[in-house]
Structure 1
Amino acid sequence: MSTPSTSTDLVIRTYGPGQVPPLLDVIADLWADAHPELVDNPGAEASGLSVPALRRQVQGHLKHAGFALVVAYTGGTAVGFGYAFPCSAYYWFGPGLVDQVPEGARTERLMGLCELAVRPPWQAQGIGTRLHAELLTAIAPQWSSLLALPSNRRGQDLYARLGYRYAGPYRGSADGPEFDLLLLRVALK
């Protein structure tokens, strides 16, 4: 791995669903670097928070119309990625939460932000913010939503700076981890 360079040589590329399969190893490696606390954690796989779970998740999401993957490169090295797709409120929030989110999040164009990860040496350089902006440009939502582990302080801080607000707890399954459901009303340009 190369040493961090300034974000002035940062290049962000956007990929559609057909371009993603050859990049699965790259984004899995990025995810693992950004989440060292989950790598080799026996409970992580059972909770769906592992590299194999990420691979399954991405492959399952490729079928969604409008799917977009963004990858940040500096000096030719991939240092971060994010992916999202437009989705219905019912799909994203599920029957237990759909009626608890603001009406606009239920009725206007919604982006489900699934992953946003930057390798630790390149964090705090604005790369996550730029990846997020590229996803908003690619998908053009009126609302964006994501799930974040309450213990992920760096991620929580970034999402707060981006304008996301807590909308409630979310659990994908009865025995799965509890996430914070975060919502962003995207400013119209």
Structure 2
Amino acid sequence: MPEAITVEPLDGPATSRAEAAFRLVYAEVFAEAPYEESPEAVEATFRRFRSQVRKATFRAALARTVGGEPVGIAYGYPLSAATGWWDRLIAPVPAEVRREDGRRTFGLMEFAVRAPWRRVGVGRRLHKALLVGGNEERVLLNALPDAEAAQAAYRSWGYRKVGQARPWEGAALHDVMLLRLR
């Protein structure tokens, strides 16, 4: 039987203190296909991370073994009215779908589970812990179409594709997925 896993919800300051654990999981998972992120891309992600954790509404979840080894991460924050997320879609969505007010939609920025701990419920537990205490109506994320396991997990949790986007300049095409919470 695999070692027990704890999943802890974290605020921004606690997540900042756990940056090494978040980096370890992120760098390992996103070095794999189809992501194949370089060390430079990981460093860019963690420059953004240091800014993101300072947001008052930032939330994260960290999964660890009982021995303290990090096995999964998830983090994000509610999207502000000024978010550019919806502007990156290839085909626009109706104004009512893209309306943001800082409380309506939780933007799931990063989500990753290390290979040895996949398909045993860690991802579902991370997702649930991340959303505890939030009052958002929905969750929004971007996922590579070729990330088949991630796509399958998101669909099984109720996410539906609402479009495609290039989330940043030079990015591959991502599926934009939305989960309605209420």
TM-score, normalised to structure 2, is 0.84
Residue number among 96, 100, 124 corresponding to 1:103 in the alignment = 96
User: 2:45 maps to which residue?
Assistant: 54
User: 1:30 maps to which residue?
Assistant: 25
CA distance in 2, matches of 1:99, 1:140: 26
The 8 Å contact of residues 113 and 123 in structure 2, kept in 1 or not, is answered as yes
User: 1:91 maps to which residue?
Assistant: 83
In structure 1, list runs of 5 or more residues that go unmatched: none
CA distance in 1, matches of 2:92, 2:55: 23
Q: 1:173 to 1:99 in 2, by over 3 A?
A: same
SS of equivalent residue, structure 2 residue 87: coil
Q: From the two aligned structures, give the one with the greater helix fraction.
A: 1
Return the offset for 1:119.
Answer: 0.8
SS of equivalent residue, structure 1 residue 172: coil
User: 1:15 maps to which residue?
Assistant: 10
What is the Cα-based RMSD across aligned positions, in Å?
2.8
Please give the residue correspondences for 1:140-151 in structure 2 after superposition, counting only pairs within 5 Å.
Answer: 140-151=135-146
CA distance in 1, matches of 2:75, 2:153: 16
Residue identity in the other structure for 1:123: R
Q: 1:101 to 1:186 in 2, by over 3 A?
A: farther
CA distance in 2, matches of 1:152, 1:101: 27
Return the offset for 1:170.
Answer: 1.0
In structure 2, list runs of 5 or more residues that go unmatched: none
Q: 1:130 to 1:102 in 2, by over 3 A?
A: farther
Q: 1:23 to 1:38 in 2, by over 3 A?
A: farther
The 8 Å contact of residues 138 and 179 in structure 2, kept in 1 or not, is answered as yes
Please give the residue correspondences for 1:46-85 in structure 2 after superposition, counting only pairs within 5 Å.
Answer: 50-76=41-67, 77-85=69-77
Residue number among 2, 5, 10 corresponding to 1:5 in the alignment = 2
SS of equivalent residue, structure 2 residue 132: helix
Q: 1:173 to 1:69 in 2, by over 3 A?
A: closer
Aligned residues between the structures = 178
The CA deviation string for residues 124-158 of structure 1, in whole angstroms up to 9 with x for no partner, is 01111111111111323111000111111111111
Identity of aligned residues (%): 28
User: 1:177 maps to which residue?
Assistant: 172
The CA deviation string for residues 32-68 of structure 1, in whole angstroms up to 9 with x for no partner, is 22223269x5xx459x8x3212212211212322101
TM-score, normalised to structure 1, is 0.81
The 8 Å contact of residues 27 and 81 in structure 1, kept in 2 or not, is answered as yes
